[in-house]
Chain A
Amino acid sequence: MTVTLGRTRLRPPRAGLAGAIAASAFLLVLVVAAAAPALFTSADPIQTQVLQALRAPSIEHPFGTDQTGRDVFARVVYGARYSLAIGVLATTIAMTAGLLVGTLAGLAPRLVDSAISRVIEVLMSFPEFLLALLVIAILGPGPVSLVIAISLASVPVYARVARVQTFTVRSSGYVRAAVILGVPKWRSVLRHVVPNTVGPLLVMATIGFGTAIASAAGLSFLGLGAQPPTPEWGLILSEGRNFLGTAWWIAVFPGLVVTVTVISASVLGRYLRARGEGRAA
């Protein structure tokens, strides 16, 4: 005689350890591909071979070939370094800048905090993608503009989280306990505020890394980022656009890789967040 409550009580999607391991494994593969692409493919990503143009996927060409005969798989592998580089750079810059700005706002006198918050609010009133577009409009297309645009567009989000976290820690019971013990203010800030703020930001950065790669691909797709013949993922996709009916593999596979990268980053990020919360629970 089992007597139970109506609904099953579920917790937020807790990416299990298995998922996190799979995600990390994929990301690791990407890193290796970026560092040593020759390990994965012997084909040349740039050299055109018109005779091989528009071949369907096969054992020789796992992702098929594009309109100039280049092996798509090779292009994707060599493209990893661009996407990863941009993703890592943009995310690191955004996170560091956000941490600095947000912590400053959280610790500074009221006036400074108000000023910084207003600026953050204004920046956040633009949808992120549009902000990146604006930056590129000013700086002109290119990979450097890409990095600047993406980082600038995401700094406000990191800054806001850092600011809120700083406030929370600042008014927390344990910082108050440190004050009562007689620990000097600056030392308790360093010991408590910064480490407790960096944690959540790192988790955000893990997920943000995936988003940055997707944004970079999107901007390159529009022609605003990397320029041909760079094998950047978004670029390959835009090239494949014209052949959607005849050679769908050119567009589909690179996009698939981007998607799986974003999924992996999300899964890993969620797992880290769940673990972090479990510790603080």
Chain B
Amino acid sequence: MRLGPSKRRVPGASARWLLGRLGGLLLVVWGAATAGFLALTLIPGDPVDVMLGVQAQVSEQVKAQIRADWGLDDPPLARYLQYLGRLATGDLGESYQLRQSVSSVIGEQLPATLQLTLLAVAFALSLAAIATLAARGRRSTRIVSLVELTAVSSPTFWTGLVLIAVFVFQLGWFPIAETGSLRALVLPALTLALPVAGIISQVLRQGLDAASAQPFATTAIARGLGGRRLLMRHTLRHAAADSVTLVGYLVGTLIGGAVLVETVFARPGLGRVTLRAIIDRDLPVVLGIILLAAVTFALLNLAVDVLYRWIDPRLRTGSAAT
């Protein structure tokens, strides 16, 4: 398309919108941090007892020392501001149990989880594309719908176990305990990807059908377009617009699902650390990970919104017809 972009757009409007959204993002992060702080301070019982665990027999003197070390005696407002201040510099505090800074705990475990999540996203998109293409006529669509429904409804931990039972124990295609290789990554990523693939495929298909039923699709056909051209030139863009907003949400659930999958497949990663931290009531770690998840989620949604604006020109110009 050699004719250039429309010069009608008000300069700076997009920039202002982005700034506004970033501001909102900051607000959400602050809100999450505050909620986290509240959670920390609101837990029932003495935080020191929580830290040490129920079993510990420790004298009052030592407890007082720990309290002073952690600044637990300072008034709540001072602690809150300290907390915010530390967060702003990227300091997530120190683990109650692991004698490490939370940031380093996360740093160690993040790559494994990241690998898993990224491969899962790749699988999910591929599976969704295959499913959409497979649904041609009425009968195949029904079958595909059923498969989608099952994929979406099966709990991840169960799917993982079933996949292990079949592919590891019965068929022996994949290793049991090995964690380093790409091969070991396949089943966990697939497990994580299935429900996401199911939803994306469903929304994409529905989007394509809805778009094909619109008047502009009739106009395009009246110009002589056939099925494939109609898809590529018109309906795919509309369906993608619908699906894009969902993808942000789904990747967020991937983050949550990683906890289950890493547990099922006994893989290292943030999921296992989170679980350990919850059972041990190691709250700084839990909070640090959850904050990280919240920020990632919010950033993703922002990216999705930007993408959406780019896909649908109606949102870009925002000017009335002249």
Contact present between A and B (CB < 8 A):
yes
Set A11, A127, A136, A259: member contacting B252, Cβ < 8 A? A127
Chain A residue numbers with a CB within 8 Å of B263 are: 221-222
Asked if B260 CB lies within 8 Å of chain A CBs, one says yes
Q: Is A121 an interface residue (CB 8 A)?
A: yes
Contact with B along A133-160 (1 / 0, CB 8 A): 1101110110000000000000000000
Is the pair A128, B230 in contact by a Cβ cutoff of 8 Å? no
B97 sits at the interface (CB 8 A) = no
Inter-chain CA distance A32–B152, complex, in Å, is: 26
Interface residues in B189-221 (C-beta closer than 8 Å to A): 202, 206, 209-210, 212-213, 221
Say yes or no: A237 contacts B138, CB within 8 Å: no
Q: Are B155 and A217 in contact (CB under 8 A)?
A: yes
- Size of interface on B: residues with Cβ below 8 Å to A: 60
Q: Which residues of A contact B137 (CB under 8 A)?
A: 8
Question: What's the nearest-Cβ distance from chain A to residue B116, in Å?
Answer: 15
Contact of B221 among A5, A122, A241 (CB under 8 A): A5
Question: What is the CB-to-nearest-CB distance from B148 to chain A, in angstroms, rounded to a whole number?
Answer: 9
In the complex, whether A102 has a CB less than 8 A from a CB of chain B is no
- Are A222 and B275 in contact, CB atoms less than 8 angstroms apart? yes
A57 at the interface (CB under 8 A from B): no
Residue in chain A with minimal CB distance to B28: A125
A258 within 8 A of B: yes
Q: Which of A1-47 contact B (CB under 8 A)?
A: 5-13
> Measured between C-beta atoms, what is the minimum distance from A252 to chain B in Å?
6
Cβ contact within 8 Å between A222 and B260: yes
A130, B290: Cβ atoms closer than 8 Å:
yes
Residues of B within 8 A of A7 (CB): 212, 227, 230
- CB-CB under 8 A from A136, the residues of chain B are 278
Q: Which residues of A contact B39 (CB under 8 A)?
A: 134, 137-138
Min Cβ gap B260→A in Å is: 6
Q: How many residues of A contact B (CB 8 A)?
A: 52
A251 at the interface (CB under 8 A from B): yes
CB distance from B76 to the nearest CB of A (A): 17
Contacts of A9 in B (CB 8 A): 209, 212-213
Contact A6/B43 with A127-B297, A129-B253, A267-B149 known, Cβ cut-off 8 Å: no
Q: Chain B contacts of A244 at CB under 8 A?
A: 161, 164-165, 168-169
The answer to whether B257 and A221 touch across the interface, beta carbons within 8 angstroms, is no
Instruction: Specify which chain B residues have a CB less than 8 angstroms from the CB of A98 in the assembled complex.
Output: none
Per-position binary interface string of chain B over residues 272-284, scored 1 when its CB falls under 8 Å from any chain A CB and 0 otherwise? 0011011101010
Contacting residue for A252 out of B150, B165, B230, B256, CB 8 A:
B165
Interface-centre pick from A9, A121, A129, A245 (highest chain B CB count, 10 A): A129
B277 near A6 with CB under 8 A, answer no
**Bound Cα distance A140, B44 (Å):** 10
Q: In the complex the two chains form, is B227's CB within 8 Å of A263's CB?
A: no
Contact with B256, one of A129, A210, A248, A263 (Cβ below 8 angstroms): A129
**Given A127-B255, A133-B274, A244-B169, A6 and B293 touching (CB < 8 A)?**
no
For window 24-79 of chain B, which residues contact chain A by CB distance below 8 Å?
27-28, 31-32, 35, 39, 42-43
Q: Find chain B residues with CB under 8 A from A256 CB.
A: 158
Contact B293 A252 (CB under 8 A): no
The answer to whether the Cβ of B153 comes within 8 Å of any Cβ in the partner chain is: yes
Give complex CA distance A105, B48 in Å.
39
Whether B259 lies near A255 (C-beta < 8 A) is no
A200 at interface (Cβ–Cβ under 8 A)? no
Tell me the smallest distance from the CB of B279 to a CB of chain A, in Å: 7
Q: State whether the Cβ of A206 lies closer than 8 Å to any Cβ in chain B.
A: no
A262 touches B155 (CB 8 A): yes
Within 8 Å of chain A (Cβ to Cβ): is B298? Answer: yes
B260 touches A125 (CB 8 A): no
For the complex of A and B, list the 4 residue pairs with the smallest distance between their C-beta atoms, beginning with the closest. A255-B158, A129-B256, A122-B31, A262-B153
Which residues on A are within 8 Å of B, measured CB to CB? 5-13, 118-119, 121-123, 125-130, 133-134, 136-138, 140-141, 210, 214, 217-218, 221-224, 234, 237, 240-241, 244-245, 248, 251-252, 255-256, 258-259, 262-263, 266-267
A-B contact sample (16 more), CB < 8 A, given A129-B257, A255-B157: A5-B221, A13-B206, A130-B293, A130-B294, A133-B256, A134-B39, A136-B278, A138-B283, A241-B161, A244-B161, A248-B169, A251-B158, A252-B162, A259-B150, A263-B153, A266-B152
Chain B residues close to A by CB (< 8 Å): 27-28, 31-32, 35, 39, 42-43, 137-138, 141, 145, 149-150, 152-158, 161-162, 164-165, 168-169, 202, 206, 209-210, 212-213, 221, 226-227, 230, 252-253, 255-257, 259-260, 263-264, 274-275, 277-279, 281, 283, 286-287, 290, 293-294, 297-298
**Contact sample, A vs B, 17 pairs, CB 8 Å cutoff:** A6-B221, A6-B226, A121-B28, A127-B256, A127-B297, A129-B256, A133-B259, A133-B274, A133-B286, A217-B155, A222-B263, A223-B279, A244-B168, A248-B165, A258-B155, A266-B149, A266-B153
